Amino acid sequence: MKRIEIERFGGPEVLQVRDVPAPVPGPCDVLVRAHSIGVGWPDVYVRTGTYPWQHLFPMPATPGVEMSGTVAAIGSDVKRFAVGQPVYVSSGMLGMRGGCYAQARLVPEDRLIALPPELNLDSAANLAYYQVALALLEECSRGQTISTVLVSGASGGMGTALVQVAKALGHRVIATVGHDDKRAHSEAMGADCVLNYRTSDCGPAIAAATHGRGVDLWLEAYAGENLADALAHLAPWGKLVLYNATGGHPPASFFDAWRTHMAKCLSIQYFSMHVWEDDLPARRALIQRAVALMSSGKVSPPAGRHFPLEQAGDAHRLLESGRQVGRIFLRP
Ligand SMILES: NC(=O)c1ccc[n+]([C@@H]2O[C@H](COP(=O)([O-])OP(=O)(O)OC[C@H]3O[C@@H](n4cnc5c(N)ncnc54)[C@H](OP(=O)(O)O)[C@@H]3O)[C@@H](O)[C@H]2O)c1
């Protein structure tokens, strides 16, 4: 079988295809044949050696946080799975963030997620991001009344999931995108208002869309030197949630800007799924809630872009360009 491996950290070219023997299940293992493999930023961080939990990946390492597939073989003691059954693999359930860029992989029976037959396997390969969106929106709004959520970078993989889940939770959604050709996507995902932050001053449009109040939750993964601008557009008691800072942290003057808005009682929160790193029941429950949400049809991941497994490097180049609309996948 084929598997992607890296032997050193670096650019997309370090993602090499290897022919390796198909693994043989131990008594409690399930061999999962991949159908669709999600590609996301955690894989880029593994590839570049910048993932904070990198010690979990001895070389050669295989990236990949999630795959949907079917059961190809089971160990002698496996009771809950049968050959041919649709399943979902989250490497987060395995205590690491890798191993899914492969035609097949072994998963202990108690770490595998069964999928309902009605759930499309391409949609299921999005579950990681829908689970993050669900957890982020619910946990970060605890005790807060949410009317409007702003999703920045809304056309990307996480942004798409956040827009759809926020709508499913009954919130009004403002989406920001960096290019006009991404607008239609965010509108189709259900955003009530889509703004191009590169070509217009979003302030007046946010004020108009919120009757001058501002947004209750601002969800941000880029951050960077202009992050303080978000504070001006938050409603009283509003919250800025960072779920990454790919553009770097803001300058120290950010704290002065925060203080300028003191009378709005704003808060700032970091969110990471790693808060549940050692809590497998909580992780399983979250994934199962995301499965239920997707199966109900309340969220419906768009088709995204598929690359053959062998072209994992091209998939990473597109992801890092920021030009992809929706999610990127590998087809084994
Ligand atoms: N905290 C957690 O638990 C957690 C879990 C999963 C993922 N994440 C994070 O979520 C973020 C988004 O991941 P993703 O897979 O959805 O990525 P993605 O599909 O590439 O989306 C990222 C979006 O960010 C925007 N962006 C703004 N400036 C950018 C720049 N300089 N370079 C690239 N993109 C830029 C782009 O949209 P525009 O150009 O339209 O702005 C792009 O669509 C990542 O930082 C990832 O680490 C966090």
Q: What is the DSSP string of 125-158?
A: TTHHHHHHHHHHHHHTTTT---SEEEETTTTSHH
130-139 pLDDT, tens per residue? 999 999 999 9
Identify the pLDDT of residue 58. Answer: 84
Categorize the per-residue pLDDT at 52 as very low, low, confident or very high, splitting at 50, 70 and 90.
confident
Ligand 1: centre distance to CA 280 (Å): 26
164-192 pLDDT, tens per residue? 999 999 999 999 999 999 999 999 999 99
Residues in the chain: 332
Lowest-confidence region among 150-154, 173-177, 246-250, 284-288: 246-250
Taking 90 as the threshold, does the pLDDT of residue 218 lie above it?
A: yes
Alpha-carbon gap, residue 35 to 76, rounded angstroms: 24
Nearest to 98 by CA among 26, 42, 170: 42
CA distances to 11, 105, 243 from 98, in Å:
17, 11, 20
Taking 90 as the threshold, does the pLDDT of residue 57 lie above it?
A: no
| Average pLDDT, integer, range 301-309 | 95
Categorize the per-residue pLDDT at 51 as very low, low, confident or very high, splitting at 50, 70 and 90.
confident
Mean pLDDT of the chain: 95
Ligand 1: centre distance to CA 107 (Å): 28
| Average pLDDT, integer, range 211-230 | 96
Identify the pLDDT of residue 21. Answer: 96
Taking 90 as the threshold, does the pLDDT of residue 325 lie above it?
A: no
| Average pLDDT, integer, range 193-215 | 94
Identify the pLDDT of residue 31. Answer: 98
120 lines ligand 1 (CB under 6 A): no
319 lines ligand 1 (CB under 6 A): yes
Identify the pLDDT of residue 84. Answer: 98
Categorize the per-residue pLDDT at 97 as very low, low, confident or very high, splitting at 50, 70 and 90.
confident
97 lines ligand 1 (CB under 6 A): no
pLDDT > 70 fraction of the chain, expressed in percent and rounded:
99
Ligand 1: centre distance to CA 59 (Å): 26
Cβ neighbors of 285 (< 8 A, separation 6 or more) are none
Nearest to 23 by CA among 66, 49, 62: 62
Taking 90 as the threshold, does the pLDDT of residue 37 lie above it?
A: yes
- Asked if the 129-273 domain carries CATH number 3.40.50.720, the reply is yes
Q: Under CATH, to which class is 2-126+301-331 assigned?
A: alpha beta
Ligand 1 atom nearest to CA at 129 = 6
Taking 90 as the threshold, does the pLDDT of residue 56 lie above it?
A: no
Q: Which two tokens stand for residue 148?
A: 């409007």
Nearest to 109 by CA among 88, 69, 80: 80
57 lines ligand 1 (CB under 6 A): no
Cβ neighbors of 25 (< 8 A, separation 6 or more) are 31, 73, 74, 75, 78, 106
Ordered by start, the domain boundaries in the chain are 2-126+301-331, 129-273
| Average pLDDT, integer, range 209-219 | 97
